[in-house]
Amino acid sequence: MSSFSSYDGTKLAYTEVGTGPRLLCLPGGPGRAAAYLEDLGRLSDTRTLVLLDGRATGHSEVPADPSSLRFDKLAGDVEALRMHLGLETADVLGHSAGCLVAQAWASAHPDRVGRLVLVTPTSRLQGGDRGDVAAIRAARADEPWYADAAEAQAALADAPPAQQQSLVRATRPFFYGTWDERTQAHAATADRQSSKRAELGFGAGIEQVDVAGLLAGLASVTAPVLVVGGERDALTGVDAVHLVAGSFPSAQTVVLPKAGHFPWVDEPDAFRAAVAPFLQAG
């Protein structure tokens, strides 16, 4: 475990895993500590993963200014980490909500982007509506957990706060391509790795974000971009992969057939086969 002081003095923690050139890894949640990224399906065989705990998560400090938890301001922590590590340009991987942070950083610092990997991103910036998610969920209707998960999903919208966490737990099979012992163990770590403070701060005041300006910045990113999705991702869907990729001048996409929202957990070999060569390309 290592740490550094970010732009406003907040002390942030990160862990380095693996060997090879550094890859800055931004977790999602929002507000989840980076431990759930594990070794990204042994991507650590060829890259040193720099797993950053966002402010108010994991081993990182709670900032003095709560507004600094908003996703676009978290981009400042990515830039501070790049500078702390002495990298001229940074290869960055974001997962889920972490893709919003990665995009905000790339938009603000296009000349500092080495290679960018966005894994199962949300298309909120691009105006996506997750319109394909219902069909992805329905396609799992013959699985034994489906009825309970679908009932919990339907109840979430109107559930009081005290019931929401238990309902979310019941929907977690939708997050994975296969609901087995491995994925259940991974899902079980979410509660202890999540920060409600960071989750709420991530989107607070989002109406103040200059989304048009942020997207314009993405259009100036000339570095290679890879957007990875899972065909069974019933959280952010597959359409989002292509919407997000379309924000860049030239981005590759890959959708892994048997994977859900955490493709390195569902299909580690396929995930590594898609991402490692992209990162190693000249």
Q: What is the pLDDT of residues 39-98, one digit of tens each?
A: 999 999 999 999 999 999 999 999 999 999 999 999 999 999 999 999 999 999 999 999
Tens digit of pLDDT for each residue in 88-136?
A: 999 999 999 999 999 999 999 999 999 999 999 999 999 999 999 999 9
pLDDT score of 37: 98
* Global pTM value: 0.96
What single DSSP character describes residue 174?
Answer: G
pLDDT score of 213: 97
Q: Which among 15, 54, 75, 43 is positioned nearest to 226, based on CA atoms?
A: 43
CATH architecture of the domain covering 2-135+181-280: 3-Layer(aba) Sandwich (3.40)
Q: How much of the chain, in percent, has pLDDT values that exceed 90?
A: 95
* Core vs surface per residue 38-76: b (16+ CB within 10 A) or e: bbbbebbebbebbbbbbbbbbbbbebeeeebbbbbbbbb
pLDDT score of 67: 96
The total number of residues shown for the chain amounts to 282
Tens digit of pLDDT for each residue in 145-169?
A: 999 999 999 999 888 988 888 999 9
pLDDT score of 269: 98
**Where does residue 115 rank: exposed (0-12), middle (13-18), buried (19+ CB within 10 A)?**
buried
Q: How far is CA 59 from CA 21, 30, 207, in A?
A: 24, 16, 29
> At what angle are helices 146-156 and 161-171 packed, to 10 degrees?
150
Q: How far is residue 212's CA from residue 214's CA, in Å, rounded to a whole number?
A: 5
pLDDT above 80: residue 233: yes
What single DSSP character describes residue 180?
Answer: S
pLDDT score of 282: 57
Using DSSP's 3-state secondary structure scheme, residue 120 falls into: coil
